[in-house]
Amino acid sequence: MIAVSILKRLLMAAITLFGVAVIVFVLLRVVPGDPIAMMISPGASPESIAALRAQYGLDASLPVQFLVWLKAVVVGDFGTSISLRRNVLELLAERLPATLELAIVALLVAVVLGGAVAVLGTLLRRTPGEPVVDTVNGLCLAVPDFVWALALVLVLGVAFPVFPLSGRINPGVQVDFATPFYLIESLVTLRFKVFADVAAHMVMPVLALGLPLAAIITRVLKEALLEAMVQDYILLARLKGMSSLRLVLQEALRNAIGPTIALTGVQFTFLIGGTVIVERIFAYPGIGNMAIDAVINRDLPLIQGLVLVFGALFIVINLLVDMLVVAFNPRLRHG
């Protein structure tokens, strides 16, 4: 039963990815902009242009190009980046971990911060504190990630230079990492100075990405918590002598958290989309930043690889979210 539904999901994922691949492939070739034109020096002969075109397989018809590319992708060959002249898969393997670390830390910050504020707002129900919480939260909700990024740059990077403005690690820090997961690796290998430097570089992009999500979590979770708090079982639990905090955390939260998990999943995919612009602002070497360069350079193989990676990420996240929702709702567990 479970095996069947997992198989179904995998099949759906494959179809989705295929659809993404087709759309991107066609779009990239329909929009104006010629990758070869970006490469050649002015005044190159038509012969050398044609030779380059043939070298990258761009002289064939569209369906043929697609099939050639798809055949290679299926066996793990994503081609060679036109602008960077390196294997696309290698580039992705180098850059993806940076983005994953950034996005996951931002997600954790959003969940912890948003969850805590939601609980606080629920406890402050009908006190003067509630409108304060709601107002601050509304403000965070209204400001998008890239505006946060710019504001943080101005305040914590320029006016009060507390955190490093750009990059992933201070170039002066002498380290050789065995993996591209700098944050995790430095923590696991107990190199706390390096860890502190990597973490400091992440503070501002993490806040820019995490604050809007935290605000969304707060709003949805607080709403659901307040709805749960007027249920009879809360009243009975209160009569059993539970404190208000315990009522919220033990009784209300587990019933209120379902919609929040589902929404957080959706919003997390938007957060990953947001890494593109936020990584750019902080010159953070992730796939988002790379995606902008790839588009500017009309680097077709690289763009295609990047989009597939983003698509796969979205699918995996949605799958995880569905599993989490079921895990938190005993009524969905059977059948």
Partner 1 sequence: MTASLLSISGLSAVSDREGGMPILRDVSLSLERGEVRGLVGESGAGKSTIAKALLGILPRTVRVTGGTVQFEGRDLLTMPARELRDIMGAQISLIPQDPQTALNPGRRIEAQLTDGLRLRRGLSSREAHARALKLLEEVQIRDPQRVLHAFPHELSGGMRQRVLIAAAFALEPKLVVADEPTTALDVTVQKQILRLIRDMQKVHGTAVIFVTHDLGVVAQICDSVTLLYAGKVIEAGATADVLQNPKHAYTKALMAAGPRYDRPDAGLEPVPQAVFEQLRAEIGIR
User: Can you tell me which of 236, 283, 292, 320 binds partner 1, judged by CB under 8 A?
Assistant: 236
State the minimum distance, in angstroms, from the CB of residue 317 to partner 1.
24
Of 287, 321, 325, nearest to 306 by C-alpha is 287
HSE-CB for 214 with a 13 A CA cutoff: 27
Whether residue 36 contacts residue 58, with contact meaning beta carbons closer than 8 Å, is answered with yes
Of 92, 124, 97, 60, nearest to 202 by C-alpha is 97
Q: What whole-number distance in Å separates Cα of residue 12 and Cα of residue 5?
A: 10
Smaller CB distance to partner 1: residue 16 or 329?
A: 329
Smaller CB distance to partner 1: residue 42 or 241?
A: 241
User: Can you tell me which of 30, 174, 331, 335 binds partner 1, judged by CB under 8 A?
Assistant: 331
Measured in degrees and rounded to the nearest 5, phi and psi for residue 202 equal -90, -20
Binding positions for partner 1, 176-235, rule CB under 8 A: 231-233, 235
Smaller CB distance to partner 1: residue 47 or 232?
A: 232
Degrees, nearest 5: CA angle 307-312-318: 130
Binding positions for partner 1, 68-97, rule CB under 8 A: none
Determine, following the binding rule CB under 8 A, whether residue 335 of this chain makes contact with partner 1: no
> What is the x/- site pattern for partner 1, positions 101-130, by CB under 8 A?
-------------------------x----
HSE-CB for 224 with a 13 A CA cutoff: 22
Q: Give every CB contact of residue 199 below 8 A, 6+ residues apart in sequence.
A: 183
Q: What whole-number distance in Å separates Cα of residue 261 and Cα of residue 242?
A: 26
User: Can you tell me which of 251, 272, 276, 301 binds partner 1, judged by CB under 8 A?
Assistant: 251
Q: What whole-number distance in Å separates Cα of residue 232 and Cα of residue 184?
A: 45
User: Can you tell me which of 83, 87, 166, 329 binds partner 1, judged by CB under 8 A?
Assistant: 329
Smaller CB distance to partner 1: residue 37 or 236?
A: 236
Q: What whole-number distance in Å separates Cα of residue 218 and Cα of residue 236?
A: 26
Determine, following the binding rule CB under 8 A, whether residue 254 of this chain makes contact with partner 1: yes
State the minimum distance, in angstroms, from the CB of residue 257 to partner 1.
9
Whether residue 78 contacts residue 87, with contact meaning beta carbons closer than 8 Å, is answered with yes
State the minimum distance, in angstroms, from the CB of residue 255 to partner 1.
5
Residues written for the chain: 335
Determine, following the binding rule CB under 8 A, whether residue 242 of this chain makes contact with partner 1: yes
Smaller CB distance to partner 1: residue 189 or 250?
A: 250
Smaller CB distance to partner 1: residue 18 or 233?
A: 233
HSE-CB for 107 with a 13 A CA cutoff: 20
Smaller CB distance to partner 1: residue 188 or 236?
A: 236
State the minimum distance, in angstroms, from the CB of residue 247 to partner 1.
10
Return residues touching partner 1 (CB under 8 A): 126, 231-233, 235-242, 251, 254-255, 328-331
